[in-house]
Structure 1
């Protein structure tokens, strides 16, 4: 009988192995940058074209290689990092398997130029895993590797690559992560059309974070320094009163190596338990140092995960270390504006069976401003016609009467006249109905109204906007800037006119004006952050227009803590009950709770 088992060719075996190491352009950048850092580079420059699908080039000023080492580096399992099993248990380099270069070379057209002495270099050309040329070249000390036409010989893999913008963001994240791991190394990144990153060598982690996200982001962080046994935790974490809902920046490193571990993120979150409301996710930049042999980094093809010998101990180290950093804040609450902020009430799970609860005011915590936290104290607006709650983009209440399920004021709730309304803790609106009482969460209600208004504006050519006498300038992260470039047209239809302003800054010339309390700078900044990092809210959308409408409604709606006039409360009721889904906000939470007269009689022990 003929044999059914065959030994694979070296070319096919290399392509299969490459599938574990090279998933997308960001994987290539990660491997090449790690090699550069292992080579002692003081500067690493990354250039990509078409998201890395056309070309990736990584250059460093490390110690370089001679001709013999350059040729060996293309062979599988050839490495300078380890020599014995003992070395494998004490790995301190980022690379060690000897798989990266041969794997990359097998699915691309790769050119390696390197020199360990000035002017005396070697150029190696490899196409689809086959050596094409080896020649001398004149170059400075260091190494430059160019990878072109990634997956040109594996079209099935190329089909799974995402858009140029998405691949750009993935590469941004890889370079950002490595830059955080090594603040003393200078980094740059060029996307082919613009400079994305230009990071000089920094003196410490805080300086690197300031260079990436601005001084304001760095000023929000607290230092962490904690030791337990032979292990240590250091880094920076966000102050509780600066943390916001939505996406977070969460970076973990062990012995200088970046890794992902949700259980350690949860351990850090446990340390914040008494300092922030539920749903708020502080930024984390944490570095673990553990003894050799206590962590196995050889458990994942892309080295993205690690395994700790004493996982429970590491979780405890993270939780106690973060809690120690927060201890000073917890034990010395400030007296001032925070004492005057309104209480935060637990979210009600439904309506029809009202449960009375005591207000919850977390000691030393600030409620999230992007969902239902208090706004800055404001004077009560004058009840003039031009100062109504909805100033642009909306319909008159009378015109909207037939749109919703029951018109502006549902007949089954209210009598013909507009009811008298009361505002409770500047957060909830209470009104008498025909059969009892109704309470409305003003933020949730306004979210629903704004969302349908924004969607309607998209359907009719875009929102009106007003030009700013003094334009707003925002400094963004590389990923945020790339996103704004991608969605600039949709933002303009939403009313935000933006353009690049050098580096990673944008200038905002015009903004929408959905209501008189609208803060365009805060709304746009929080929208960009949420759209870049993702959130359960925007990730549920099918289109970019829906993502922006959802985020803008959430960030732009009036907040809990905002005092409203009788005219504004009445208009909010009109607009809410003219929407298609008045009883739930865009998160699926209730906007309205009804309490029947019969329930009131029962609560007070009356017979009826």
Structure 2
């Protein structure tokens, strides 16, 4: 007989046990205690909060504030479950404007620790209350000038099983610091001091800017490239700072989101941010950003998680659109309008950090001064210092170069190439939409120096720097831009012999979802049970590449039309190790300069690496 079949008497849990169960939901580790107590201090109107911890928070957590304080007759109520001053009716619960509102935090913390609250409200004398593992002591007089001090000692001492799940003291201390730092970012008018083991770690003065506080937490190289975000729409406002895609990292721990001042871990916001950075980051990279979303409390439910770490939005689509569009517009505006490649570096003290574009390049029309360029790399004086490409002009009109240019001609005659001729499998052209280059190339002050390793194109940039262009990444960007411009026209070239593919059941299931997208790209398809026939392909694909492309699409590597374009551009782009004649290289460079978003390939890799004269001098130990 199972235990579930045994009859058992239903009983009300003892208050001590109920408090410990509640503590398991609210108090997971020392950082949870710090979070709840700092939020209480903010709700009390504190303008200065001091956080002291010892032994990673297991020995001592002390939170001191200069807030409104608690009257002596209400101190016992403060550590009673479901007792709160922050809501009084269901209407208040629907429009929560404070951090704490459940009335569980102090009672839960007191049930698994030795807690002392000392508080002074207004002109009253200060009083203190001791609570040991849920058992209340007597309210007694105490000494305190203003506000409230909460001390937590011996956390989890009465539940040793919980101690086994804690990390090292250093790790727990770091988590406590991170919690306070996040709260400090959201409350710039409040000063914070954080110390551990008697040593001051962080100090945030009241009235600092968001950038100044982030500069305490993040490296200077990240902070100098942050973009300002401020967008209002549909009764919501998004503000904050977002980072340079080139300085992305492999972890998402610097993606910080706040909703009405509350730090949250929200998949919707993270997904919208990742979508905005799509095409600028690698698959496993994450941007650095700190974003604040403000909206009507009625439009967000903050009562979906015991520790209030998650929220639920009434109109998720509107929130997603706002975050994605605000970030995407900021990224587009901060990207260099033309490659007037100014030297990178930390801005001088007192200068606005946003004088440079997102990638450290001077914006159009701003003068640039290279870092002591050598005469060998200096561009002629009569060449323009800015590339100033016309905006919003179709790619085909700006670049007289076919994105689908046949690169096999030079490959057949180059003495460096020992591969067989590729004329039978070379990409086909689309001359009507993308005419070949017939006039002299317009490189806007750049000079083509040559190709190395049949992979990289060397450029002398207008400011005297050396640019190294990845030909595969650049061609990918050109092809992707051409596909987006041309859209889903469905143009195709028939095949003399259809390509037949036997489909795995998972591929057959995926075919129904991808059918329309593949047809719109120019694939002619017919299916019979588990057999797929490809009767025509887009003009840019050979038969072999078309088969690879469809297999990749049906394997789930792409989930949208944008993903299919990225995949198609990668399959079609000329590969590393392909020698290029000078005219072919010049045509590719010209087309790349005309392509929007040319600083990255569609996968997010950089297309151009720049070495300033100062960089070269350092490499040769000349300075």
Matches within 5 A, 1:422-433: none
Q: Deviations over 1:411-451 (max 9, x none)?
A: xxxxxxxxxxxxxxxxxxxxxxxxxxxxxxxxxxxxxxxxx
Aligned to 1:116: 121
1:294 aligns with 2:294: no
Aligned to 2:599: 365
Pairwise CA distance, 1:370: 11
Give the root-mean-square deviation of aligned CA atoms.
3.4
Structure 2 unpaired stretches of 5+: 1-5, 343-360, 362-460, 462-466, 477-547, 549-569, 576-587
Q: Could you say which structure has the greater relative contact order, defined with CA pairs below 8 angstroms and 6 or more residues apart? A: 1
The one of 87, 93, 109 equivalent to 2:92 is: 87
Aligned to 1:204: 209
Pairwise CA distance, 1:298: 0.2
Matches within 5 A, 1:315-334: 315-330=320-335, 332-334=337-339
1:285 partner SS: strand
1:50 and 1:156 map into 2 onto residues whose CA distance is: 18
Contact 1:240-1:366 within 8 A present in 2 as well? no
The one of 127, 145, 149 equivalent to 1:140 is: 145
Aligned to 1:389: none
Aligned to 1:230: 235
Aligned to 1:566: none
Aligned to 1:343: 470
Q: Deviations over 1:347-383 (max 9, x none)?
A: 99xxxx998843797835369999998474689999x
1:264 partner SS: helix
Aligned to 1:131: 136
Q: Deviations over 1:284-343 (max 9, x none)?
A: 111111112110000001100000011111111100111222231247233337862322
1:117 partner SS: coil
Pairwise CA distance, 1:11: 0.6
Aligned to 2:9: 4
2:291 and 2:244 map into 1 onto residues whose CA distance is: 14
Contact 2:43-2:100 within 8 A present in 1 as well? yes
Q: Deviations over 1:371-422 (max 9, x none)?
A: 998474689999xxxxxxxxxxxxxxxxxxxxxxxxxxxxxxxxxxxxxxxx
1:92 and 1:376 map into 2 onto residues whose CA distance is: 51
The one of 17, 36, 43 equivalent to 2:41 is: 36
Q: TM-score scaled to structure 2, two decimals? A: 0.56
Pairwise CA distance, 1:3: 5.2
User: Which has the larger Rg?
Assistant: 2
1:82 and 1:175 map into 2 onto residues whose CA distance is: 25
Contact 1:209-1:217 within 8 A present in 2 as well? no
1:120 partner SS: coil
Q: TM-score scaled to structure 1, two decimals? A: 0.58
The one of 272, 289, 298 equivalent to 2:277 is: 272
Pairwise CA distance, 1:212: 3.0
1:178 and 1:172 map into 2 onto residues whose CA distance is: 10
2:310 and 2:92 map into 1 onto residues whose CA distance is: 19
2:121 partner SS: strand
1:112 partner SS: strand
Structure 1 residues 370 and 148: CA distance shift in structure 2, 3 A: farther
Pairwise CA distance, 1:5: 1.9
Q: How many residues are aligned here? A: 382
Matches within 5 A, 1:455-534: none
Contact 1:119-1:139 within 8 A present in 2 as well? no
